[in-house]
Amino acid sequence: MTDEIDSLLQRYVDDRDALTPDELAEFTEHLRQSATLRERLRDQLVMHELICQRLAVDRGNFPAQVEQRLRDLNGAGDLASEVEAQVQGMQQLASEEWDHWAEKRDVGKRRLRRVLLGLAAAAAIALVCGYLGFESYGPVARLQSVEGPVMLVRDGKQVAARPEMWIYGGDKLTTTLGAAWELRYHTDGSLLSGRGDGDIAFVGGRRDSKQIVLNYGDVTADAKPQPTGKPMRFLSPQGEAVVVGTKLHFLATSDVSRLDVEHGKVLLRRLTGDGSEQLIETGRFGRISDDQLATGVTLWPMERFGLVVDGRFDNTANMQLRLTRPVEAELIPRGDVQARPGRLQLDGGAYQLSPFAADAVVERCQAANAVSVELWLRPDKDFKPERSTLLACGPEDQPNLEIWAEDDAILMRLATGNGESSQQKPVRLGALPAGRWSHLAVAYGNGRLICYVDGRQTLSRTWPGDLSTWSPGYFMIGDAWRGDGSQAWTGEIGALAVYERPLSIHEAFRNWRRLQTATQP
């Protein structure tokens, strides 16, 4: 195959509209003449599709899309039936009026005709208005899935939400711990989902309304490209986000609203103060508080699903706890530690996660029988410990999970059992070079333990037992609970997250690449 034909094929696979008409004619002729070329093209197109199905964020759960299409078609049938019923009602009314007037002998025929014509005109107008109105005003979305305590509030009345319930303008969803829901907008298939504690109101009466008031809670939207003049909008106590067509996460507490744009563009606007606004683009966040609208690159976390705690250390040592409504979980400093812009610096001291948050980590991971820990860290250049504790979770004498450094190696012990307590042997996760930022991700779930260092798998083995033997205790970063500093880990930690599910290889690679690109040397 010549280079020229190669190039045509590669450009065609890359973009079906990339070839000029002359090039397309030439390429078509080559295809006619060569079965081999046809096979190679089909190979490339099929492989392209298979990879898309696995990696593209919007290609998942195709069966659910088919089911929804069928239900939408059924729903349209129901709506048409209602319109038809209205038409029949009008016809019946006109017919009854005709009978009534026809019986009245003292009513002149001329007057009778005028009245009947008026009725017919009124019925026709009512029919048109009813049809148009019915088409313009109606449900805005439909619940696709509901788990846990999700309540639908309408006209002051509250019912337990169920899948396939319609959502109308004026409705509200109230949710508490353990709740999860997803809905699909009627007109364009945009998705909106939420977890945990939340209060979400839907405003606007028209079927194409996509205006959401997020009083508090955490929602994720996967919005199709929005029609001009009718974008999806989020309102929170502090700000407004206008969505053009994107995938985003919007979180609101009583003090702060934060928008992370995973894909696309969203206009974020302050509702108080100077009313300033910012266009937040892919991979960036906007954060509105009482006094400002700040933006930056979203380094962390890249994925909220299954996230229990995460820490972005922007001048403060705080973790975000995601059990009920998102709340701050304090990191209690001990000894020689310091919170710097974008990192925690540990020089022989340690941080302790607040007891409530520490217990929540154990409880959530134990319930899910899965845990992942993710760290972005840089050991000190001259750091060569015999043994130093990087992270420990659980009772002091028998941690549920412990990660420590020995020379330049990172080791871990994960406690699992079968009804009675048992400890697994330590395993070597890999090497973390001193003086250099590294990404460490450990994932346990489905009976398997996997570790990734800088996006590359360094360990994968079956891991018997489960997390039923886990106990509440301490969550320590940098040293053991009773550590005196002699075995403390020294270096910097840029980010830390704990999940109640196993991270995938793609997440580990993606997160490492983003952190590596965005971290200042």
Partner 1 sequence: MTDRYDDDFEQLVRGTQIRIRAYIAGMGIASHEVDDVAQDVYIEYFRNEEKRPQDVEPERWLKGIARNLCLNRFRRSARRARLHHEAIGEMLAEANSTADRLVSGKAVEHALDSCLEKLDDQQHQLLEMRYRDELASKSIAETLDSTAEAIRVALYRLRASLRDCMDATLARENV
Give the nearest distance from C-beta 23 to partner 1 in angstroms: 9
Least distance to partner 1 from the beta carbon of 461, Å? 15
Q: How far is the CB of 62 from partner 1 (least distance, A)?
A: 5
For 288, other C-beta atoms within 10 Å of its C-beta total 28
Q: How far is the CB of 515 from partner 1 (least distance, A)?
A: 14
Backbone angles phi, psi at 459, to 5 degrees: -155, 140
**Which of 1, 271 has the CB closer to partner 1?**
1
Residue 46 CB, nearest approach to partner 1 (Å): 4
**Which residues, numbered 74-93, are part of the site for partner 1 (CB under 8 A)?**
74, 77
What is the nearest approach in angstroms of partner 1 to the Cβ of residue 146? Answer: 18
Q: Does 436 bind partner 1 (CB under 8 A)?
A: no
Choice between 12 and 470, CB closer to partner 1: 12
Beta strands in 399-509 (DSSP E): 401-406, 409-414, 427-431, 438-445, 448-453, 456-462, 474-477, 490-499
Determine which residue in the list 339, 359, 509, 518 makes contact with partner 1, applying CB under 8 A: 509
Residue type, 455: G
The answer to whether 7 contacts partner 1 (rule: CB under 8 A) is yes
- In the complex, minimum distance from the CB of residue 370 to partner 1, in angstroms, rounded to a whole number: 19
Summarize the chain as % helix, strand, coil (round to 5): 30, 40, 35
Q: Whole-angstrom Cα distance, residue 376 to residue 382?
A: 19
Of the two residues 69 and 340, which places its CB atom closer to partner 1 in the complex?
69
The string of DSSP codes covering 267-335 is EEEESSTT--EEEEETTEEEEE-SS-EEEEE--S-S--TTEEEEEE-BSS-EEEE-SSS-EEEEEEEES
Q: Which of 258, 219, 223, 221 is nearest to 237 (CA)?
A: 258
Among 4, 53, 159, 177, indicate the residue that binds partner 1 (CB under 8 A): 53
Work out which of 1, 4, 59, 340 binds partner 1, going by CB under 8 A. Answer: 59
∠387-392-394 over CA atoms, to 5°?
Answer: 135
Q: Which of 1, 4, 10, 158 binds partner 1 (CB under 8 A)?
A: 10
For the bound state, the minimum distance from the C-beta of residue 56 to partner 1, rounded and expressed in Å, comes to: 6
Q: CB under 8 A: which stretch of 61-69, 171-179, 180-188, 383-391 binds partner 1?
A: 61-69
**Could you give the CA distance from residue 234 to residue 201 in angstroms, rounded to a whole number?**
10
Residue whose CB is less far from partner 1, 340 or 456: 456
* Residue 360, H or E segment: helix 355-368
Question: Are the C-beta atoms of 440 and 429 separated by less than 8 Å?
Answer: yes
CB of 509 to partner 1, least distance (A): 5
Please tell me whether residue 462 binds partner 1 under the rule CB under 8 A: no
Instruction: Tell me which stretch binds partner 1 (CB under 8 A): 141-149, 161-169, 317-325, 504-512.
Output: 504-512
Compose the 256-275 pattern: x for residues touching partner 1 by CB under 8 A, - for all others.
-------x------------
Instruction: Determine the residue type at 27.
Output: F
Distance between CA 311 and CA 361 in Å, rounded? 14
Are the C-beta atoms of residues 497 and 302 closer than 8 Å to each other? no
Which span sits near partner 1 by CB under 8 A: 38-46, 323-331, 363-371, 476-484? Answer: 38-46
Handedness of CA 73, 78, 82, 85 (dihedral sign): positive
In this structure, what are the phi and psi dihedrals at residue 144, rounded to the nearest 5 degrees?
A: -95, -40
Note the residues at the interface with partner 1 (CB under 8 A). Answer: 6-7, 9-11, 13-17, 19, 21, 24-25, 27-28, 31-32, 35, 38-57, 59, 62-63, 65-67, 69-71, 73-74, 77, 263, 282, 455-457, 505-506, 509-510, 513
